[in-house]
């Protein structure tokens, strides 16, 4: 019996390998965060020049509150199914539960409660000395205590955008997965240009939501959208 190749091992643990590469890269080279943020900062005016752009302000506002109608809609759908007022036979039995738990645990508990309020205390770009603030810049995963609550690491808005990758599991579609990721990328870009988050804050918002969604998808029997061809 032949030993498994490095390639087959990578395929099996691809997500973990890619996550660790992101950690190693962004912790070892924190200049990446400063460089990306600096692209949208004018040192002469000490302003993020797209911070008040109406389009990006609208996106920010929508995704600051979008979790509320989503939660209410999913809970209402769950009640209608329970009392047999709504039939979702086209989809898996646990679709609503999957959608609801992924929203609550991913962007809700893990991102906004555990990481943003109780992790490394990272100051936002607009707060650090490099971009006109008074606080010290620190790399991702390095504790600083510069912030007490609602901190920079990780991005709640980006996490809420990346939540829509769950459509890939729901519809067993790689295209739906990537479409959801694009929503997350748009939100990530929005928060970076506003000085609200560093690049690494958005990268690890993706990973937080991705790991939660993958685990719940497997628990409820949904096919991973990036492994459909192998099934």
What would the pLDDT profile of 159-205 be if each residue is shown by its tens digit?
999 999 999 999 999 999 999 999 999 999 999 999 999 999 999 99
Say how far apart CA 67 and CA 111 lie, in whole Å: 13
Say how far apart CA 39 and CA 71 lie, in whole Å: 36
Say how far apart CA 21 and CA 44 lie, in whole Å: 36
> Does the pLDDT value for residue 90 go beyond 80?
no
The per-residue pLDDT of the chain, averaged, comes to 91
pTM: 0.90
**Contact partners, residue 50, CB within 8 Å, separation at least 6:** 40, 56, 193, 194
Say how far apart CA 87 and CA 92 lie, in whole Å: 11
Over its C-alpha atoms, the chain yields an Rg (Å, rounded) of 19
Q: What is the pLDDT of residue 230?
A: 47
Q: What is the pLDDT of residue 94?
A: 84
Reported as a pLDDT band with limits 50, 70 and 90, residue 70 is: very high
Reported as a pLDDT band with limits 50, 70 and 90, residue 100 is: very high
Q: What is the pLDDT of residue 10?
A: 58
For residue 47, list its beta bridge partners.
42
Give the residue with greater pLDDT, 152 vs 89. 152
Rounded mean pLDDT, 126-143: 95
11 token code pair: 């395929």
Q: What is the pLDDT of residue 78?
A: 83
Check if the beta carbon of residue 153 is closer than 8 Å to that of residue 119: yes
Q: What is the pLDDT of residue 88?
A: 62
Query: Is-cis flag, bond preceding 154, omega within 30?
Result: yes
């Amino acid at each position: 019996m032949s030993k498994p190749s490095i390639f087959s091992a990578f395929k099996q643990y691809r997500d973990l390998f890619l996550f660790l590469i992101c950690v190693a890269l962004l912790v070892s080279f924190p200049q990446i965060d400063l460089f990306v943020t600096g692209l949208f900062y004018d040192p002469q005016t000490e302003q993020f020049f797209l911070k008040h752009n109406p389009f990006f302000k609208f996106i920010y506002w929508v995704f600051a509150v979008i979790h509320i109608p989503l939660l209410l809609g999913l809970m209402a759908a769950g009640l209608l199914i329970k009392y047999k007022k709504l039939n979702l036979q086209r989809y898996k039995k646990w679709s609503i539960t999957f959608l609801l738990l992924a929203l609550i645990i991913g962007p809700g508990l893990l991102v906004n409660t555990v990481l943003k309020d109780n992790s490394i205390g990272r100051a936002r770009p607009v707060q650090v000395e490099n971009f006109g603030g008074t606080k010290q810049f620190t790399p991702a995963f390095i504790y600083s205590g510069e912030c007490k609550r609602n901190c920079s690491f990780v991005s709640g808005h980006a996490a809420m955008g990346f939540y829509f990758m769950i459509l890939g599991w729901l519809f067993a579609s790689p295209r739906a997965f990537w479409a959801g990721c694009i929503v997350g990328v748009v939100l990530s870009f929005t928060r970076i240009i506003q000085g609200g988050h560093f690049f690494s804050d958005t990268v690890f918002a993706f990973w937080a939501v991705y790991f939660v969604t993958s685990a719940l998808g497997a628990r409820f029997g949904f096919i991973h959208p990036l492994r459909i061809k192998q099934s």
